[in-house]
């Protein structure tokens, strides 16, 4: 066989690698009311989400502020790993402390401490009060922002014990939410320590009991769900491993975070991490049926493995496919992995990751098998994302960079997300640029939510499960042009 004939045959028989712009969902019969549309989804039959949307584990997208807000609004923010374990521990602590019926990791201060120390602790931890304990760790007071003296000089010289609220209204362990609310209301206080035999066992705050965010993603103890990106490498020193185990106590979901997970070294590393840590794991990214089949049938993962993440090279700031010639666009990857999950283990969840440009791309991902979608592009310009708002030519913007960009890979923490080895750091697989500032993430999520809901209504699907059964089709190039605004005198 001639070499040219071989290439023609190989290309002829390869599958069509479709992207979001190549596909449309066909309209279906809608026999339900608009209010009946249910967009709740789950991962591993264990984690429920009222908003099937995640913000990416990127250092210009998700740190604690974004993670907290995403969880409060019903989704999940996955904290990035381009930082030390110490920094990650700080972030996960803040997420778990943000909205909790009972705070276990209570901030305390000694009664002989200076007011200046208390002020610094409150500011650095982002809290409004501290429980005061004596030298035997027995509760003796509460010190809040209301207890600061008016005299400026006393902020530096005064002692906490002289200004704290000494009458401590408390509750015993095991009290119900209603009992806690009643005691807070009766005493017109905002913080309620849980005390047993004089020792502090926890803290309840009024803000955590208010039904301000009824759709919030919470664990069984009422705390916000917390996701964290993780290297597939086990820490090579005891100090780092100790911190990682401490992180494990706060995290619900670890996301193995590499560009392409279908590698023996990453698979073996993930298995070892599961043997060390107790939280659940989501593995990724992968892009083919074969990769999913291998992970589902040939690797003996523990029950901690609950979901896969699909997509490679589709993000707006990702250049892996251009730099290496290898990739799996998110729509194609999602459909491939969904087929393997259906064939081998339907209990495994599926996250469609990257490449989303419009709200209409989300229902497309769900229609081919995704349980949830993950995006960085939609959220990088939000006020909750890391970084500051800049102004360029009169327009407000924020920095957005790929984790494979040379700017992100200056740090040593993210190098194993891509191919490691001599010289590999010099080949960037992402770019850094600006995106428009879009304001609060709540507004972005509302738009994406409506894109999903309206897509489901037009398709005739009242829930996520039904949405995976709708009919889809490939669009011609002429069809892609026609489905967008066209033949107008304006900017289109």
318 is catalytic: yes
Residue 17: inside a domain = no
> How many of the other CB atoms lie within 10 Å of CB of 31?
8
> How many of the other CB atoms lie within 10 Å of CB of 237?
7
Residue 101: inside a domain = no
Residues 223 and 268 reside in one and the same domain: yes
Residue 318: inside a domain = yes
CATH number at residue 129: 3.10.580.10
Residues 300 and 183 reside in one and the same domain: no
417 is catalytic: yes
Residues 248 and 223 reside in one and the same domain: yes
pLDDT in tens, 392-403: 999 999 988 877
Which of 226, 318, 382, 401 is labelled catalytic?
A: 318
Domain boundary among the residues 209, 244, 271 is at 209
Residues 127 and 41 reside in one and the same domain: no
Which domain range does residue 320 map to?
A: 22-95+215-473
Domain boundary among the residues 152, 183, 209 is at 209
Q: What pLDDT score was predicted for residue 100?
A: 64
Determine whether 77 is exposed, middle or buried from the number of CB atoms within 10 Å of its CB (0-12, 13-18, 19+). Answer: buried
Across 30-39, 163-172, 393-402, 404-413, which has the greatest mean pLDDT? Answer: 30-39
Q: What pLDDT score was predicted for residue 420?
A: 65
Mean pLDDT of 364-388: 96
Residue 9: inside a domain = no
Q: Which two three-digit tokens encode residue 312?
A: 């490679």
Question: Is pLDDT of 8 > 50?
Answer: no
Question: Is pLDDT of 450 > 90?
Answer: yes
Q: What is the mean pLDDT of the chain?
A: 89
Dist. CA 325–CA 54, nearest whole Å = 28
Name which of 448, 440, 406 is nearest 424 in CA terms: 406
Q: What pLDDT score was predicted for residue 206?
A: 78
**347 vs 205: which has the higher pLDDT:** 347
Question: Is pLDDT of 453 > 80?
Answer: yes
Dist. CA 178–CA 147, nearest whole Å = 28
> How many of the other CB atoms lie within 10 Å of CB of 113?
17
CATH number at residue 34: 3.20.20.70
Residue 486: inside a domain = no
Residues 224 and 190 reside in one and the same domain: no
Expressed in angstroms, the distance from the first to the final Cα of the chain is 49
Compute and round to an integer the Cα radius of gyration of the chain: 25
Residue 393: inside a domain = yes
Close Cβ partners of 4 (under 8 Å, ≥ 6 residues apart): none
Q: What is the DSSP letter of 45?
A: T
Q: What pLDDT score was predicted for residue 424?
A: 52
Question: Is pLDDT of 3 > 70?
Answer: no
Question: Is pLDDT of 86 > 60?
Answer: yes
Question: Is pLDDT of 267 > 90?
Answer: yes
Among the residue ranges 1-5, 264-268, 359-363, 383-387, the one predicted with the least confidence is 1-5
Buried b (16+ CB within 10 A) or exposed e, 7-20: eeeeeeeeeeebeb
Q: Where are the alpha helices (DSSP H) in 160-285?
A: 160-163, 177-187, 206-209, 238-248, 264-276
Residues 194 and 263 reside in one and the same domain: no
Domain count, the chain: 2
Residues 401 and 456 reside in one and the same domain: yes
Domain boundary among the residues 185, 209, 233 is at 209
Q: Which two three-digit tokens encode residue 231?
A: 């290297």
Among the residue ranges 116-125, 196-205, 212-221, 479-488, the one predicted with the least confidence is 479-488
DSSP 344-403: H-TTSEEEEES---STTHHHHHHHTT-SEEEESTTTTTBTTSSS--EEETTEEEEEEE-T
Residues 300 and 373 reside in one and the same domain: yes
Residues 279 and 204 reside in one and the same domain: no
**46 vs 438: which has the higher pLDDT:** 438
Question: Is pLDDT of 36 > 80?
Answer: yes
Which of 93, 97, 401, 417 is labelled catalytic?
A: 417
Residue 483: inside a domain = no
pLDDT in tens, 304-347: 999 999 999 888 778 778 788 888 999 999 999 999 999 999 99
Mean pLDDT of 238-259: 96
Residues 251 and 277 reside in one and the same domain: yes
Residue 242: inside a domain = yes
Q: In the chain, what percentage of residues exceed pLDDT 70? A: 92
Residues 266 and 317 reside in one and the same domain: yes
Residues 179 and 326 reside in one and the same domain: no
């Amino acid at each position: 066989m001639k070499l040219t004939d071989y290439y023609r045959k190989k290309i002829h028989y390869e599958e069509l690698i479709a992207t979001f712009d190549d596909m449309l969902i066909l309209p279906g019969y809608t026999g339900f009311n608009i209010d009946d549309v249910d967009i709740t989804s789950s991962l591993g039959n264990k984690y429920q989400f009222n908003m099937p949307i995640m913000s990416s584990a990127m250092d210009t997208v998700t740190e604690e502020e974004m993670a907290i807000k995403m969880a409060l609004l019903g989704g999940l923010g996955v904290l990035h790993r381009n930082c030390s374990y110490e920094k990650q521990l700080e972030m996960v602590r803040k997420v778990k402390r943000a909205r909790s019926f009972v705070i276990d990791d209570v901030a305390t201060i000694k009664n002989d401490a200076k007011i200046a120390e208390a002020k610094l602790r409150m500011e650095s931890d982002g809290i409004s009060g501290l429980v005061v304990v004596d030298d035997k760790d027995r509760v003796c007071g509460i010190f809040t922002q209301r207890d600061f003296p008016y005299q400026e000089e006393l902020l530096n010289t005064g002692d906490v014990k002289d200004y704290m609220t000494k009458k401590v209204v408390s509750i015993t362990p095991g009290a119900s939410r209603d009992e806690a609310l009643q005691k807070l209301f009766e005493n017109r206080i905002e913080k309620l320590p849980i005390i047993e035999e004089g020792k502090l066992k926890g803290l309840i705050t009024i803000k955590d009991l208010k039904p301000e965010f009824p759709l919030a993603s919470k664990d069984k103890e009422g705390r916000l769900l917390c996701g964290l990106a993780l290297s597939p490498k086990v820490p090579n020193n005891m100090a780092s491993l100790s911190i990682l185990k401490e992180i494990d106590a706060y995290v619900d979901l670890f996301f193995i975070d590499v560009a392409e997970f279908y590698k023996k070294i990453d698979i073996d590393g993930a298995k070892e991490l599961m043997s060390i840590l107790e939280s659940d794991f989501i593995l990724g990214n992968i892009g083919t049926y074969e990769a999913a089949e291998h992970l589902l049938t040939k690797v003996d993962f523990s029950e901690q493995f609950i979901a896969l993440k699909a997509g490679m090279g589709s993000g707006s700031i990702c250049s892996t496919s251009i730099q290496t010639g290898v990739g799996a666009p998110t729509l194609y990857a999602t459909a491939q992995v969904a087929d393997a999950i259906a064939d081998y283990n339907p209990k495994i969840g599926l996250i469609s990751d990257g490449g989303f440009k419009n709200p209409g791309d989300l229902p497309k991902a769900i229609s081919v098998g995704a349980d949830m979608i993950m995006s960085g592009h939609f959220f990088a310009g939000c006020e909750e994302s890391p970084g500051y708002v800049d102004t360029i030519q009169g327009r407000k913007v924020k920095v957005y960079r790929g984790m494979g960009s040379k700017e992100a890979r200056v740090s040593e923490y993210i190098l194993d997300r891509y191919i490691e080895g001599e010289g590999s750091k010099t080949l960037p697989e992402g770019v850094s640029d600006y995106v428009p500032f879009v304001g609060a993430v709540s507004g972005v999520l509302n738009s994406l939510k409506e894109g999903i809901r309206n897509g489901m209504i037009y398709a005739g699907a009242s829930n996520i499960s039904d949405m995976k059964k709708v009919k889809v089709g490939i669009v011609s190039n002429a069809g892609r042009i026609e489905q967008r605004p066209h033949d107008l005198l304006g900017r289109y």
